[in-house]
Amino acid sequence: MSDAIRNRAAAAEEVIYEAGQLAMRYFGSLKDLTIESKGLQDRVSEADREVEKLIRDGLLSAFPDDGFLGEEGGATAEIEKAEFLWVIDPIDGTDNFVHGIPVWCISIALVSAGQIQAGLILNPNQPELFIAERGRGASCNGSPITVNAAKSLTGGVTGIGFSQRQPSEPTLAALAALCQAGGVFQRNGSAALTLAYVAAGRYIGFYESHVNSWDVLAGLLLVHEAGGWSNDFLANNGLQTGNPVVTGGPGIEAELRAICAPIIDP
Ligand code: LIP
């Protein structure tokens, strides 16, 4: 782990807590929140934008040469040339947030040399801070976490993601196969928080037929550093165009990859 990565991860930990305090202030006054639609069941509020601005200003003031890719504000110039790139979802689970459901989080990922080097996910509602740095394991509020040891899909709950931005057939086919295999599922509306829960062993796995990089990069590093696996999300320009995601603990890899084949190879 280089000092450049360590210093950035430490700075991100300070920034994410400040962002969490701002987000909770907005969450506590939803009646005053301006909410807009980005598309079918895809909302954004001033909370998303203001939290992302706080994170962007905090990180780029400390590391002005870094690149930045945020869900709401987009990308700084030529992110593919940035030695260090921040990938941010200011509020993942926005639909829960704007409806007063305390199932949302803030996700910050650091990418360098084509790999996710650090990931931080804060759920200020608990509060729980999940952190991973490549090669240094994963933790929740400072305690080490590991993926679930389930040996089959019957061994726990599989998280699923779904939005109207994607055709439903592949997701429904995988869902049917999961149920026929004796599994159960839960959609909580936040890919990032679901991935943090996979890393902590609370869900045995997760899949969604298409997500954006800002939804999942921090969570995927958490899962890998907690002993799990995933498809190669960054393949085929996943950073800028998104990809399907399937991930989980080692004991269910073959089974979950098989039922998600319609999603991974549509
Ligand atoms: C959400 C994702 C989730 C997806 C939702 C939404 P957002 O991100 O985390 O997996 O199913 O439709 O896109 O928009 O709340 O940041």
Q: Which residue owns the Cα nearest ligand 1 atom 8?
A: 92
How far is the C-alpha of 163 from the C-alpha of 49, rounded, in Å? 21
pLDDT for the residue numbered 80: 81
Joined together, the tokens standing for residue 70 give: 């945020």
pLDDT for the residue numbered 217: 98
Whether pLDDT at 66 is above 90: yes
Tell me the average pLDDT across 59-78. 91
Atom of ligand 1 nearest to the CA of 41: 12
3-state DSSP assignment of residue 217: helix
Q: Structure pTM?
A: 0.96
pLDDT for the residue numbered 5: 96
96 lines ligand 1 (CB under 6 A): no
3-state DSSP assignment of residue 248: strand
- Reported as half-sphere exposure (CB side, CA atoms, 13 A), residue 217 has a value of 30
The continuous run of DSSP H or E covering 244 comes out as strand 243-248
194 lines ligand 1 (CB under 6 A): no
- Over the Cα atoms of the chain, what is R_g? 17
Upstream peptide bond of 127 is cis (omega within 30 degrees of 0): yes
| pLDDT tens digit sequence for 77-112 | 788 889 999 999 999 999 999 999 999 999 999 999
| pLDDT tens digit sequence for 92-101 | 999 999 999 9
DSSP state of 206: E
Beta strands in the chain (DSSP E): 35-39, 42-45, 67-70, 74-75, 85-92, 105-112, 115-123, 128-133, 138-140, 143-144, 157-161, 184-186, 205-211, 229-230, 243-248
48 lines ligand 1 (CB under 6 A): no
pLDDT for the residue numbered 1: 65
211 lines ligand 1 (CB under 6 A): yes
Q: How far is the CA of 103 from the centre of ligand 1 (A)?
A: 11
Residue 43: C-alpha distances to residues 15, 160, 207, 211 (Å): 24, 20, 22, 15
Mutate to test the pocket of ligand 1, among 45, 89, 175, 190 (most ligand atoms within 8 A of CB): 190
Atom of ligand 1 nearest to the CA of 92: 16
